[in-house]
Structure 1
Amino acid sequence: LIELATTDENGQEIVWQLEGAALSNQRRRGVMAGMLQEGDQVRVAGYASTRRPAHMTAEHILLPSGTELLVGFAREPHFSEDQVGGNAPPVTAAAEAEPADSGIFRVWTRAGGYWPWYFAEPHEYELTASAAAHVAEYDTFADNPLLDCTQPGMPSVMGNPYPMEFIDHGDTIELRFEEFDVVRTIHMNDARDPADVPLSPLGHSVGEWDGDTLVVTTNRINWPYYGRMGLPQSESVHVTERFTLVADENRIDYEITNRDPEVFAGTQTWEAPYVWRPGEEVGVYDCTVE
């Protein structure tokens, strides 16, 4: 998020809130912290919000040096051929590649071209009457907990474009996310009755190996939203995930299936590949409200 101070035709200062693509995506394309400094006089092109005044999705930022930063989804420059973040080769941190036998236990990032399932609009689903009534009363800005930097629960945390890392702890697998600094725990040897496990936003996840596929079932979730567009979620929701390591071990095929009969007429499934990029790391999100 960037704040940009401008002056309108009456000489009054207006402070715009600019948002771009995920920071990890920008880093991967060479747009690094420090390229834009506080106090820089810049030009910006993007898409102004039709719902919030002085908010914009930024695509192009022209620096005082004449270099253009492509900070959104555009890949062609708007202001200058001297650009960073467009069609230039990706820049990755210098790091020793993980050993070939690390399997799933490394850092993965969702491949490009796959729109997150959690941004699907409510009208795209067949909802129960109670769920439809909830959607009708939802206020995007007043009711969205993510705007207050509250960590998303399951399954909303899955599918984001930021890096995630699997860490093997034997009886558990830790799944760390850059987005909102979320950490999930997957229990590999848990014989407890799920009914005895307390409800929580991330729920209770139990995993097992099916060949090269990690199968994870999650229930006991009390996160109130399915996705990030105001769809409700009941405590009856049941989530099944499959993380399949492909033969060359450079990609995971991911599948998530959600069942919540109090909200949907049927099951909801989304699939996307995750790729391994040597040097990719899980950074610190550090969401704060000012």
Structure 2
Amino acid sequence: MKFQTIAQALACTTVALASSLVFAQTAAPRAVGPATQAAAERAPVNFNGVWEMLDAKAVTRPGGPKAPYTEKYAKEMAHFTKHFDVNGVDDRIKLCDDRGMPWVMSSRARTYPHEIYQNEDRMFMLFEGMDTERNVHIGQTAFPTDDGASVQGYSIGRWEGKTLVIETRKLMPRPMPDPFPRSAKARVIERWTMETLPEVGDVINVEGVYEDPEVYTEPQKLTQKWKRAQPGVRVLSYNCPQALWDNHLAKRKKELGLP
């Protein structure tokens, strides 16, 4: 079965777009249509293309077992680390759990590229890891009141010179037990810039702040650097069902005698 490309998805209806973004990884091309390319070039920076992590040492991941938690979540985390193998069999990432924002932006996996499709008022990101997608509404001034929360949240972007500032709200809570908890009060602000390095070429620099006052006593830092992927690199399917973690968690709770 041949799936739609990202460029084709933009021309579809809203319902078709949501469906195609999930499956487009199997055939995502590097090129975009001339009209869309021209629209993107009218923006201060054109982020179109296929990208991959530049250097794991440049990545800062928010949260984690040793983060500065509030009193409530410090107790929850102590309980979690006491009863669960955080870095072993109970590592949710090994069980295909999509952590969502902000952690999708701080992946250190070298082998999973992602594609960005950008025009004047929208930017789509399609990640091979976990079959994840993001949708940034560029130029929108207010967050909707009728949209539900999701793991990626709702993102609004604006240009400050050549810097794209993205704010994400409406994030779905991640209740304990979880090594990366998130509450409904979470908010992420990212600042995207582009530079060209002689030995690498184009590089996207992402610097962000993750705020979740219910979970952390202070804002968490997010950094990422992406370089352009080599010609021919495509974004493929990851094929990762949520049921893997749900079934594993139920089994482990039973083994540990936990409610």
The TM-score with structure 2 as length reference comes to 0.63
Hey, what's the Cα distance between the residues in 2 that align with 1:158 and 1:184? 10
Aligned to 1:149: 96
Alpha-carbon spacing, 1:115–1:187, altered in 2? closer, same or farther (3 Å) = same
Aligned residue-pair number: 194
Q: 1:269-288: CA deviations, max 9, x gaps?
A: 13232111332322221235
Aligned to 2:132: 182
Q: In structure 1, list runs of 5 or more residues that go unmatched.
A: 1-94
Displacement after TM superposition at 1:198 (Å): 1.5
For the pair 1:239 / 2:188, whether they are aligned, the reply is yes
Hey, what's the Cα distance between the residues in 2 that align with 1:120 and 1:265? 11
Aligned pair partner of 2:51 in 108, 127, 144: 108
Amino acid at match of 2:190: E
Aligned to 1:278: 230
User: With CA pairs under 8 Å and 6+ residues apart, which has the higher RCO, 1 or 2?
Assistant: 2
Hey, what's the Cα distance between the residues in 1 that align with 2:136 and 2:206? 16
Hey, what's the Cα distance between the residues in 1 that align with 2:120 and 2:175? 31
Matches within 5 A, 1:107-126: 107-114=50-57, 116-118=59-61, 121-123=64-66, 125-126=67-68
% same residue: 26
Would the aligned equivalents of 1:245 and 1:252 in 2 still touch at CA under 8 Å?
A: yes
Would the aligned equivalents of 2:70 and 2:217 in 1 still touch at CA under 8 Å?
A: yes
Hey, what's the Cα distance between the residues in 2 that align with 1:111 and 1:130? 36
Alpha-carbon spacing, 1:175–1:115, altered in 2? closer, same or farther (3 Å) = same
| Structure number with larger C-alpha Rg | 1
Aligned to 1:136: 78
More strand by share: 1
Would the aligned equivalents of 1:244 and 1:254 in 2 still touch at CA under 8 Å?
A: yes
More helix by share: 2
